[in-house]
A and B are shown apart, each in its own frame.
Chain A
């Protein structure tokens, strides 16, 4: 144990930054979300839940919240469906192939989200690559609506968060003792049966962690929904952006931001509890 003053000296800058630059802004936003507001007079000095009631009671906001959660669910499901085969493939592949495959998973992860969303715009636009190719092949007569709607946002977000899912599933699969699967095969279980009754349950902690992560990132995403959903197809994050930057209705934006935060933090807290529960179960 060393002298305490030194410890505080080392931590003070970080603590100051976190308190002044993170806790204080969040607290102030929480307070302002409880103030009445009008475009004319600015913030009132009374306490009110009006902003929250407005956000939760308004059909338009409810539509956006519901749409955001649905989007999160679909993207999570899509990442699981695509992530599992790829993770299993990587786990079984030869080491050389494994390295290349993992590189191909990590590279998009490190690439800028704006750049990747832009890439999808080039692909999905009405005169984009995919529509041009389909029309050239004579499969469709008029361009499909692949962008500025739910489809575009789902495709974009799935591609953007799939690497996280794959990278969390690979270790989850590796943690399954090989003997367990082998034992199941010797007991004459079929492949799908082994996958459903052995592989899936044992990989559950990884699946839960990956799913929660993808879900939370999807409902919080701003850039991709904005670029592939366009200015009219809105989710929570883009609506918050507009409240602050276009409508200048900060209290409503703050209330919506807190609804988003509560959903995200509750899910992460819950996931940690579930993960802890599973870890205990395996240790016992």
Chain B
């Protein structure tokens, strides 16, 4: 293209749109440090009290712990199952691979709330409601598409002869996979794993149907708290989630470029 610099009108619109896109997170961050109950711009003084309140609240601590354990279990399981499945699909080891892949990807196109209520009905009928493992498996279901998509694209970029070389050199199938294929898939799996972790951590529409009154995750707790009105401690809890996302993003960039995410 002819080197055309964006016009001032375009630049200004772009800035405004970027501001619009980041305004809510920005506001949440400011609100969580603001000394007053109601946020004003500029804030009338700063405080860390809201964070202290959240971190000394058993309910929040439990929700944060549950969220992290859930996301870790779901991501771990998703990575193991998803990598195994991708390997079999990539090597066309079974018939009907395309159909299986569509099935794996289906939870991505199904409205999340529908998956949520279908699972609610199902586990209620089976009498399994409230088991943590059900929550983990439901999260595996919704994170699997990200892991599989990432693993499949990494496998496609792999020279198939490299694994053959390992086998000829005396490595059995599993050793060849462990020592050669897996390390080469690592960047793709890290990307898929990060996306899976964030997806699990964020999920409300499926999670909310599967919790018992005693259980909660951080986003569900924030979601429920809002019913009782806006409160700076909610902002503080939200800020913790934003910080978590930012850390994940920074860590992710050390491993993989952003283009891998999409």
Interface mask (A216-251 → B, CB under 8 Å = 1, otherwise 0): 100110110011000100000100110011000010
Inter-subunit contact A133/B93 (CB<8 Å):
no
Inter-subunit contact B21/A88 (CB<8 Å):
no
Does A37 belong to the interface (CB within 8 Å)? no
List the one stretch of B44-52, B53-61, B84-92, B181-189 in contact with chain A. Answer: B84-92
- Docked CA distance A127–B31 (Å): 14
Inter-subunit contact A264/B110 (CB<8 Å):
yes
Inter-subunit contact A14/B18 (CB<8 Å):
no
Inter-subunit contact A122/B125 (CB<8 Å):
no
Given contacts A7-B94, A123-B23, A257-B118, contact A113 B202 (CB under 8 A): yes
Does B190 belong to the interface (CB within 8 Å)? no
The residue from B13, B17, B18, B111 contacting A220, defined by CB atoms under 8 A apart: B111
**Looking across the interface, which residue of chain B has its beta carbon closest to that of A228?**
B226
Inter-subunit contact A10/B93 (CB<8 Å):
yes
Inter-subunit contact A28/B111 (CB<8 Å):
no
Does A18 belong to the interface (CB within 8 Å)? yes
Q: What class of interface size applies to chain A in its complex with B?
A: 35 or more
Q: Which residues of B contact A13 (CB under 8 A)?
A: 81, 84-85
CB distance from A200 to the nearest CB of B (A): 16
Does A111 belong to the interface (CB within 8 Å)? yes
Given contacts A11-B85, A107-B249, A223-B223, contact A240 B117 (CB under 8 A): yes
Q: Which residues of B contact A250 (CB under 8 A)?
A: 117, 121
Inter-subunit contact A159/B2 (CB<8 Å):
no
Inter-subunit contact A108/B38 (CB<8 Å):
no
Please report the total number of B residues contacting A with Cβ < 8 Å.
Answer: 87
**Looking across the interface, which residue of chain B has its beta carbon closest to that of A5?**
B93
**Looking across the interface, which residue of chain A has its beta carbon closest to that of B204?**
A223
Which of A233-283 touch B at CB < 8 Å? 237, 240-241, 244-245, 250, 253-254, 257-258, 260-261, 264-265, 268
- Docked CA distance A257–B191 (Å): 32
**Looking across the interface, which residue of chain B has its beta carbon closest to that of A85?**
B13
Does B169 belong to the interface (CB within 8 Å)? no
The residue from B198, B205, B226, B261 contacting A118, defined by CB atoms under 8 A apart: B226
Does B40 belong to the interface (CB within 8 Å)? yes
Given contacts A22-B141, A122-B235, contact A112 B261 (CB under 8 A): no
Interface mask (B91-122 → A, CB under 8 Å = 1, otherwise 0): 11110000010011011011111110111111
**Looking across the interface, which residue of chain B has its beta carbon closest to that of A220?**
B111
Inter-subunit contact A133/B41 (CB<8 Å):
yes
Does A82 belong to the interface (CB within 8 Å)? yes
Give 26 CB contacts A-B under 8 Å: A4-B94, A13-B85, A14-B84, A14-B104, A21-B137, A25-B118, A25-B119, A82-B20, A85-B13, A86-B13, A89-B13, A90-B14, A92-B6, A101-B14, A107-B249, A115-B222, A116-B24, A132-B40, A185-B2, A220-B112, A227-B223, A241-B117, A244-B117, A257-B117, A261-B114, A264-B109
